[in-house]
Amino acid sequence: MTTAALASTFIDLATLEPGEDLADLAPLEAVIGAARVVAIGESTHYCHEFYQLRHRLTRFLVERLGFTAVAFESGFPEAWLVDDWIGGGPGDVADVAERGFTYLFGRCAEMRELLAWLRALNGGRQDPVRCYGIDLPASCGSLRPALRGVESFLASADPPLVPRLGRLRELASSFVAADPASDSEARAALRAYCALRKSDRDELTGLLADLSARFQAARLDYIQSAGQPGYDVARQQLRVAVQLDAWFRDYAAAAAGEHAFFDVNIRDAAMAETTEWILERSERLVILAHNLHIQRTPYGLTWLGTGDEPASASSLGHHLSARLGAEYLAIGTTFAAGEVIGIDEGDGDTKGWDVKDVVRPLGPAGTDVIDGLLAAVHGDTH
């Protein structure tokens, strides 16, 4: 693609400020069309400008195009606290964001501003905008948030079962992140899981399977006792616990040399299934997540592959594109240069284990990539 061809498709934005007039975004309506799911990406997390832009785009999608729900790259169980708060529930936005988001997202001032806007918006709406997390619990660091939701439901639907879940609770508590919002702590939990005896890991998987079978077999009784909505949420809580257990098992098998790391992507497949669950309840959905998750193609990550060959595994957007076709639209974001938060994947024996977020300076991109082409057309001030 040439700079001239790229420039011919540009829409200049008047501002990134979320609260300003949305008239300059009007040309996007034709691009979005009848899409049911619009995913807004970020090429790096925790970036002020990306969060401003996605707040503004979310406003446009909700206020002008009638989108009815917003989903975050954050834990499914935790996000119910956020959904309750934006619907008028009690609490302080800082505390709700801290406890209701994983991966440290709740500590971002821009995230709290987005939640405050959603709460104010819902105060004047008959049908409130809903908020969901589509990711696995505790930054992929613990099954406990999901299992707490399941037990809370069972306290009403099947009280005698709750005491019988003691062994499941014990096993799930034997590997947990010290800070469930932190990705680096989740890696510590992963190490603890891999250190468990294989018999304990297998027992945990078996107990989750038994509980899932009971939920299916007792479905009608549970719905009669505690209602359809409560059952649906608890069943999905259990489903994400099972998916996270599968993610742990897969990683442990890779660590033992049974297959390459990341030869499949359980996490993104789980996020796609949760997105489908949401679409059964919301007509049009905004997803806010990293560019890698929302892209319509599989991942291609060299550092997770073997040798010089990148790993290729389906992303969330790859799944959604296959299932929704033109009803799925991904909007990626990029930048010219500056300081960004990226991943340090570790070296040698720690590679893939001691993943940390680090600040890195990035120089100008070349014109052989889209970032450089955009910078060449519009310069560093855009």
Amino acid (1-letter code) at residue 94: A
Q: How many CB atoms lie within 10 A of CB 196?
A: 17
Mean pLDDT of 355-369: 76
Label residue 240 by pLDDT band (50, 70, 90): very high
**Mean pLDDT of the chain, nearest integer:** 90
β-partners of residue 362 are 338
pLDDT in tens, 295-341: 999 987 655 555 566 667 899 999 999 999 999 999 999 887 777 77
pLDDT in tens, 25-67: 999 999 999 999 999 999 889 899 999 999 999 999 999 999 9
Q: How many CB atoms lie within 10 A of CB 162?
A: 16
Asked which of 3-17, 103-117, 142-156, 222-236 is least confident by mean pLDDT, the reply is 3-17
How many Å apart are CA 202 and CA 29, to the nearest integer? 50
- Is 243 exposed, middle or buried, given 0-12, 13-18 or 19+ CB atoms closer than 10 A? buried
- The pLDDT > 70 percentage for the chain reads 88
Q: Name the pTM for this structure.
A: 0.92
Question: 339-372 b/e with 16+ CB inside 10 Å = b?
Answer: ebeeeeeeeeeeebeebebeeeeeeebebeeebb
Q: Residue 69's closest CA among 333, 296, 288, 317?
A: 288
How many Å apart are CA 141 and CA 180, to the nearest integer? 6
How many Å apart are CA 127 and CA 115, to the nearest integer? 17
Query: Quick check: 100 pLDDT over 60?
Result: yes
Asked which of 119-123, 220-224, 270-274, 304-308 is least confident by mean pLDDT, the reply is 304-308
Q: Name, in order, each residue with C-beta under 8 angstroms of 45's C-beta and a sequence gap of 6 or more.
A: 103, 105, 290, 341, 357
pLDDT in tens, 140-192: 999 999 999 999 999 999 999 999 999 999 999 999 877 776 766 788 899 99
What secondary structure does DSSP assign to 330-368, as a single string?
EE----SSEEEEEEE--SGGGTTTS-EEEEEEE-PPPTT
pLDDT in tens, 3-16: 666 666 778 889 99
